[in-house]
Structure 1
Amino acid sequence: MELSSGFHGRSEPHIFSTSGGKAMGKLIEATHEFAGFEINMKPVLDIVEDIFRRATPGALKQVDDATDERALPYSNLDELMDVLSVTINRISCEITYRLSVGEDAHSTTLAVAQIVKGYSWDAKVVLALAAFAMTYGELLLVIQLYATNPLAKGVALLKQLPEVLARADLLKPKFDMLANLINAMVVVAKCIVEFKELPSKYISPQDPELSSAIADIPSAVYWTIRSTVVCSLQIMNLINMGHEFLPSTADSWELSSLTHNINGIYDDLVEKLNQCRKRINERKDIEAFQTLVRLFEATHIDNIKILKALIYAKDDQPPLWDGTSKRRVSIELLRRKSVLLLISDLEIPDKELLILQQIYNDSRGQTGVESQYEVIWIPIVDRSTPFDDMKRKQFESVQAMMPWHSVVHPSMIQPAVIRYIKEVWGFSKKPLLVVLDPQGKVVNHNAMHMLFIWGSSAYPFTKLREEALWKGETWRIELLADSIDPNINNWAKGKVICLYGGDDLDWIRKFTTTAKAVARAASIEFEMLYMGKSNPREKVRRNMTAIELENISHTLPDISLVWFFWARLESMWHSRAQHGMTVKNDLIMQEILTMLGFDGSEQGWAVISRGTDEITRAKADTALKSLEEYTAWATELAEKGFVPALNDYIKSLQTEHHCNRLILPGISAAAIGSINERVVCVDCGKPMEVLLMFRCCTD
């Protein structure tokens, strides 16, 4: 028996076109007479989806899922179903009647639209799906139970289902096609319901993202209702024809065409839904950012409100990871403590972490106020790319190196917080150390420079403390390097100290050999320490190895300390510059820039000091020549002393001709103009020419 002998209702091909689809939307829109009362349809849609999930083509195999523990909580729905059950039954009866008398799918769809004309658009589509879910669910329930349940078996016999099930292999493609269409209808319905649930506080029908979707929803509702009608027709033909039912080509074409059409509608709606969500998130982020601004402007009795605003705690779980105890801890542990926020991306250099770790661990061993602070790592992760397994491992690797606190996961730092950190605190790439006092007030937007220069003795890391520390400083060897090597303090009590650097090993050999010879001739105790270059790579590492093997001089115990020596100098420059110091009015600034200029050149250099107030320095050629010509100034030693005599001779060797280069890391191209007038040559006092350099340095 052909399908034509059963119920009719097949679609005309032209109505699947874009113009035909829009016309159908206009027709159903003409029936819409919203009564004004809103109903939350999501619980009903959850029930419908659960029915379709259980009534799958796999039911033809008589799979009993009665013990399935994933059952939905159907309680508390009685009142809702009291309101909707009459309408659902009426839709089901209307579809059954109209199809049984041969009415086509389009007319039946419009008849259903009349029944639900007073409901909102999301309610229309969910009610139609619920009506079909009853029909489909009843059929599949009987199929699942007829072999084991006498009642189901009797109903199955009356419906001729045993004969149908005997040909299950022929019917599987039919049920697969129905399942595909049902899945498509459900996701469209869920999408429409989600549009209804969008928060009106952050998006309105006047917004282009939402208005465009609203214009498309009537068409989506029409095609979803029509699909329930066509599916109902397939079920009715199956039951009424029994073993004589054979799926036709036209039958399959209609189901596949509807599935394709519904999937296309879903793709369009979900794209617009994502656009709406993006707009909502943008407005939420703006609101959260403004809230954060107000929060930091307000006065608080402690720091908890600020910390909770910065770190989003999910599911009320402790949001912090204690790097020492290796467990999650509460923000409450930091109440009324000074907190340093270490802000960086996931690519914070290992050498920088090692130095911070050493400073932090040293502070934990102290008993004074210097230990009364805590550190939290705030990782800034680009949210435009997925946080994949590689990023997760990178985050965990960095986190494992930290003895202080960190957030459990980077997602706890919300977009508004990231925006605040970038726009207000100025984070770009280089790590920041923002200081919050016990009341949560920002007292320093970046204490990294203070920490590098003075370590934990810079506590409480305020600008006032920074000014006080600088007032007690002069340019001396202890300021330059005492935190780099503990031997410096002992050597400074009477010995002449020479710090030297560069990466030319031949010059190093010549200079150190000559310096030792001069020290013997002058009968002075002499100690030398190699400081390398600011970007220590393999060449500096090889030099350090050679210096140790040849017993040329002392070297630092770890190459990261070479980097730290230069990083401290850069921090000194930043710190002094922030307090308005220039080479024109500040001796310390002059010496800092001279040292940085040494590093920027291709030559070696040397700083020679004795005590707290005798210090001189020179580039490679001048330093070596002054020592080679020791006899020219040796007669001055008795009167002036070794370092002052050497200093005077170095000055006598200097000429007007010079070419100094200065590299100031951490200065953006945009900031160059603002610092140009503050950077002048230490030799002639003229403003230095500004050149923008890009460097990729490999050995």
Structure 2
Amino acid sequence: MQSQGGSECLLPEHEDILMKKILQTHAPEEHQVDSASLLDLTERIFLNFAVSSVRKDCRSKEDAKIVNAVKELGITVHHMSCEMLQHISTDRPPKATTCVLLESLERHRWSTKLTIVLAALASSYGNYWLIARFCLTNPLALSLAAMKGQLRNSLKTTTILNYRLKALRYLLEKMVSVAKCVMAFEILPTNYVSQDYEALAMMKNQVHIASYWVIRSSVECASQITSTIASGVESNLQAKVTPQVWELWSLAKKISYIYEVLRNNFDAFSQQIEKKVHLRLVNLFAGVHDNNQDVLYTLFAQKDDFPLRDSCSQEKVGVNVLSNKVVMLFISSLNIYPEKLLLVVQQSEKKIHNRPEEEYEIVWIPAMFSAQEVERRVYDQVVDILPWYSITEPSNLSSSVMKFIKEVWHFQGDSMMVALDHGGNVSSLDAFDMVAIWGSKAYPFTTSKERELWEEQRWTMELLLDSIDPLFSYWMEERRIICLYGTNDLGWARELSKKMKALSEAGVPVELIYVGSNMQEQTSSTLTRIMEEKLSRYLSHVNIRIFWLRLQSMRSSRQRLGYASESDDSITQEIDSLLSSDTRSSGWLLVGEGASGEVLKLWGNQVLESLSNLHAWGQKIRRLGFLGALLKSLGTSATEPCDYSVVTPFSESSINGESSVCKKCKSIMEKHIMYQCGTC
């Protein structure tokens, strides 16, 4: 790797000796503070007063981070501010003050040293400008201005003072840029370039030089701010200010050059590291591991020892909290549908109790995150409602990680879930469908488990509703007749409602529930009218969307597993039929008894005609059950004997009266009991 030259001219020979002396006192402690929030606050102070009007920054969650940083560093910041003031009052040379500051900050890493000194400078800078801005309108500000010597006549900005302020603001901007670059370098996983000793040593040397000059420039800025306060009462203003302006511009030019050299080398290091991180990920996921820590560290913790946010404690935690657990990586863009998010939240909350061996955790990875203010606001809103782990600072995710997710895992913007087993090995790239359909029942979220669940599954109300509402689960346990319907034809819905009410009045325990259609906009207006006219029970707007999202996941899952290619795949046929039902002009009705009974589907006028003939087939309900009687009224029994049969294992449903529909002729199947000897 080629490093940028020129760093040797940044310090004269005698100052190079001084730097070696300073490095001897650099002994950072293992515990490091989160100074990024404090640096953001410092930059905000500098920027607020660099424009003609104060930007009204609303309070946000970042304030909590700032409070924590100030708690830990506030006293040190105040101490540095006092040291800089002492330099001004005693006329101590800037170099000597810089050494004092660095010695006082020896236990901090370089980025934290810079943050503390710049925060101390921002405190003085901000105090001065708050008084200057409001002293003409606020009595308290006027009194403070008098206390500091900032009388009204001294605050009338002259041309030469404007030059000084312009130079000062430019210098402050460049110093913050250097501090950010140093901070970014310190969180780079430099172990990936450890073999390039010369380049790494050069980069670290440039960090030391940059830090020295930022701190020394801060001392000069503090002096200039004090000078500005006193300038209004001095007679020979221009003679004193002109050299100070040139000094500021000279420092700004030096800091700007340091920043360019530092930035170029940082970019080169970043590119080298990103290539090696991508290769590392490819190799990791190509192998088999007994522990997931290497995988999770490479994904999340290269730039931060505590990259995750615990939703319960709101604390930053390391990847070690996920050790020996199945980990579900929920990857999505920030503009994810709220219903899709809620579906995963609801399903994942149904964890299997008292089975610690089946413990798993979900980690949210917000992809395509650019750290812009709007995106940060959206991220804060979403992360608040998630009961999972999430990435604390999405912008810290390596670009190679995002590249790997897009190119190898084929993330294209829609939500996806990648399941990692206890060792960090990928057990499924499409676990979202499993979670959406079965929740924790799909543990450990492998393709074999997904197929096993489908092999046991029938087309039932339990599959369709899946406890989407606790009341529905109660009705299914009571073996009530559940009727789900969808339509955008209000006339048809009114007729259906009238006939179902007559059925209920006749003593049939039937519940009619509107579940909308796959056309969300049309469903919304129809649902409103059904609610207003009290035509039936209904799912809420959100639950309607969840109902259809689950159906889409069912189709996706079965297609991926190859069921859709089978000619007798009745479940996929039923799912496809419902998902395309929005093309029909009238409506449809699904009828099922209890949780595990088979479901009958009727269309349009067929529904109304059958219910109109209740007097003809209603007396058969007691003998055949509602579903059987309805099937008989439709004439679905085969004209010729049907020889279809199926043997199912014993279950409670085999004796509680729940019925099954013949896959061949669609009639209600008769039940027989078979006894088989279990001895060899």
Counterpart of 1:393 (choices 367, 370, 377) is 377
| 1:304 counterpart = 2:304 | no
Q: Which residue of 1 aligns with 2:412?
A: 428
Relative to 1, partners in 2 of residues 1:515 and 1:268: Cα closer, same or farther, differing over 3 Å?
A: same
The reply to whether residue 457 of structure 1 matches residue 444 of structure 2 is no
Residue number in structure 2 paired with 1:480: 464
**In structure 2, how many angstroms separate the alpha carbons of the residues matched to 1:579 and 1:601?**
29
Q: 2:316 aligns with which of 303, 323, 328?
A: 328
**Residues in 2 aligned to 1:64 and 1:275: alpha-carbon distance in whole angstroms:** 35
1:610 pairs with 2:598: no
Q: In 2, are the aligned partners of 1:363 and 1:370 still within 8 Å (CA)? A: no
Over 3 Å counting, the alpha-carbon distance change for 1:314 and 1:609 in structure 2 is: same
Q: Deviations over 1:91-126 (max 9, x none)?
A: xxxxxxxxxxxxxxxxxxxxxxxxxxxxxxxxxxxx
Relative to structure 1, the CA distance from residue 568 to residue 646 in structure 2 (aligned partners, 3 Å threshold; closer, same or farther) is farther
Q: Specify the alignment match of 1:417 in structure 2.
A: 401
The number of residue pairs the alignment matches comes to 475
For structure 1, the residue ranges without an aligned partner over 5 or more in a row are: 1-28, 33-38, 47-55, 76-171, 205-246, 653-699
- Paired with 1:266 and 1:324, the residues of 2 have a C-alpha distance of 44
Tell me how far apart the structure 2 counterparts of residues 636 and 73 of structure 1 sit (CA, whole Å). Answer: 93
Aligned to 1:641, the other structure's residue is in SS state helix
Task: After superposition, give the CA deviation of every residue in 1:23-78 in whole Å (9 maximum; x if it has no partner).
Answer: xxxxxx9xx9xxxxxx99987999xxxxxxxxx9xx99997788967845489xxx
Q: Match of 1:396, as an amino acid? A: D
Q: Distance in 2 between matches of 1:281 and 1:180?
A: 32
CA distance in 1, matches of 2:193, 2:361: 39
User: Structure 1 residues 202, 336: closer, same or farther in 2, change over 3 A?
Assistant: closer
**1:368 alignment partner AA:** R
How much has 1:332 moved relative to structure 2? 1.7
Instruction: Write the distance in 2 (CA, Å) between the matches of 1:70 and 1:401.
Output: 48
**Match for residue 294 of structure 1?**
283
Q: 1:304 to 1:450 in 2, by over 3 A?
A: same
> Residue 552 of structure 1 is aligned with which of 532, 535, 547?
535
Q: In the alignment, residue 330 of structure 2 is paired with which amino acid? A: L
Cα deviation 1:181-205 (Å, max 9, x = unaligned)? 9x99x989x99xx9xx9x997999x
Which of the numbers 552, 566, 571 marks the counterpart of 2:553?
571
Inter-partner Cα distance in structure 2 for 1:341 and 1:483 = 25
Q: Give the Cα separation in 2 of the matches to 1:488 and 1:606.
A: 19
Q: TM-score, normalised by structure 2?
A: 0.56
2:513 maps to a residue whose letter is L
Q: 1:543 to 1:310 in 2, by over 3 A?
A: same
Distance 1:457 1:615 in 2: 22
The worse-fitting range, judged by mean Cα deviation, of 374-383 and 448-457 is 374-383
User: Is the partner of 1:609 in helix, strand or coil?
Assistant: strand
* Residue identity matched to 1:303: N
CA contact (8 A) 1:583 1:589 kept: no
Cα shift at 1:356: 2.4
d(CA) in 1 for partners of 2:325 and 2:538? Answer: 39
- The answer as to whether partners of 2:610 and 2:634 remain within 8 angstroms in 1 is no
Which string of whole-angstrom CA distances, capped at 9 and with x for unpartnered residues, describes residues 120-154 of structure 1?
A: xxxxxxxxxxxxxxxxxxxxxxxxxxxxxxxxxxx
Taking the aligned partners of 2:404 and 2:535, their CA distance within structure 1 comes to 51
Closer/same/farther in 2, CA of residues 489 and 592 from structure 1, 3 Å limit: farther
2:400 is paired with a residue of what secondary structure? helix
**Which of 475, 489, 514 is the equivalent residue of 1:504?**
489
CA distances 1:418-476 after superposition (whole Å, capped 9, x unpaired): 11111122212222121111111110112111111111111111111111111111222
The residue identity in structure 1 corresponding to 2:489 is D
Are residue 347 (structure 1) and residue 335 (structure 2) matched?
A: yes
Q: Which residue of 1 aligns with 2:450?
A: 466
Unaligned runs of 5+ residues in structure 2 are 1-5, 10-15, 24-83, 105-158, 197-237, 640-680
Measure how far apart 1:315 and its partner are: 5.6
Tell me which residue corresponds to 2:579.
596
- Report the Cα distance in structure 2 between the residues aligned to 1:651 and 1:605, rounded to whole angstroms: 23
5 Å-filtered alignment, 1:216-295, equals: 278=267, 280-295=269-284
Structure 1 residues 169-224: Cα deviation after superposition (integer angstroms, max 9, x where no partner)? xxx969979x969x99x989x99xx9xx9x997999xxxxxxxxxxxxxxxxxxxx
Distance 1:648 1:284, change over 3 A: farther
Kindly indicate whether residue 359 of structure 2 is the aligned counterpart of residue 372 of structure 1: yes
TM-score (norm 1): 0.54
Measure how far apart 1:574 and its partner are. Answer: 0.8
Aligned CA-pair RMSD: 5.8
Query: How far does the alpha carbon of each residue in 1:386-434 deviate from its partner, in whole angstroms, 9 at most, with x for none?
Result: 432x322221111110112112221232211111111122212222121
Contact 1:491 1:497 survives alignment (8 Å): yes
Q: 1:496–1:609: 8 Å Cα contact kept in structure 2?
A: yes
Letter in 2 for 1:312: A
**Does structure 1 residue 644 correspond to structure 2 residue 631?**
yes
2:388 maps to 1:404: yes
Task: Supply the distance in 2 between the matched residues of 1:41 and 1:175 (Cα, whole angstroms).
Answer: 35
Letter in 1 for 2:544: V
Give the 3-state SS of the residue equivalent to 1:362 in structure 2: coil
Change in Cα spacing, 1:271 to 1:581, as seen in structure 2 (3 Å) is farther
CA distance in 2, matches of 1:549, 1:174: 70
1:344–1:42: structure 2 CA closer, same or farther, 3 Å change rule? farther
- Residue pairs, 1:6-405, within 5 angstroms: 71=100, 73=102, 278=267, 280-312=269-301, 314=303, 316=305, 318-363=306-351, 366-368=353-355, 372-383=359-370, 386-388=371-373, 390-405=374-389
Shift, 1:294, TM fit: 0.9
What secondary structure does 1:479 align onto?
helix
Shift of 1:509: 1.1
Is contact 1:380-1:413 (8 Å) kept? Answer: no
What's the counterpart of residue 562 of structure 1? 544
The answer (yes or no) to whether the contact 1:502–1:532 under 8 Å persists in 2 is yes
Q: Distance in 2 between matches of 1:512 and 1:381?
A: 47
* Whole-angstrom CA distance in 2 between matches of 1:421 and 1:600: 37
Larger Rg, first or second structure (1 or 2): 1
Aligned counterparts of 2:361 and 2:88: Cα–Cα separation in 1: 64
Query: Percent same amino acid among aligned pairs?
Result: 28
Partner Cα distance (2:300, 2:354) in 1: 29
Q: 2: distance between equivalents of 1:309 and 1:337?
A: 17
CA distance in 1 between counterparts of 2:366 and 2:589 reads: 39
Distance in structure 2 (CA, Å) of the matches to 1:601 and 1:272: 67
> Secondary structure of 1:363's partner?
coil
**Distance in 2 between residues matched to 1:575 and 1:393, nearest whole Å:** 34
Distance 2:288 2:338 in 1: 37
| SS of aligned partner of 1:381 | coil
Shift of 1:531: 0.5
Question: Which amino acid letter does the alignment assign opposite residue 307 of structure 1?
Answer: L
Cα distance change, pair 651–628 in 1 and its aligned pair in 2 (3 A): farther
Quickly say closer, same or farther: Cα 1:361–1:256, change in 2 above 3 A.
Answer: closer
Distance 1:315 1:548, change over 3 A: closer
Shift of 1:293: 1.1
User: How far apart are the structure 2 equivalents of 1:595 and 1:175?
Assistant: 71
Give CA deviations for 1:586-630 in whole Å, capped at 9, x if unaligned. Answer: 111111111111145554321123365543223434433444466
On the 8 A contact 1:626/1:649 being kept in 2, the answer is: no
AA of the residue aligned to 1:293? V
- For the residue of structure 1 that corresponds to 2:564, the secondary structure is coil
The answer as to whether partners of 2:292 and 2:423 remain within 8 angstroms in 1 is yes
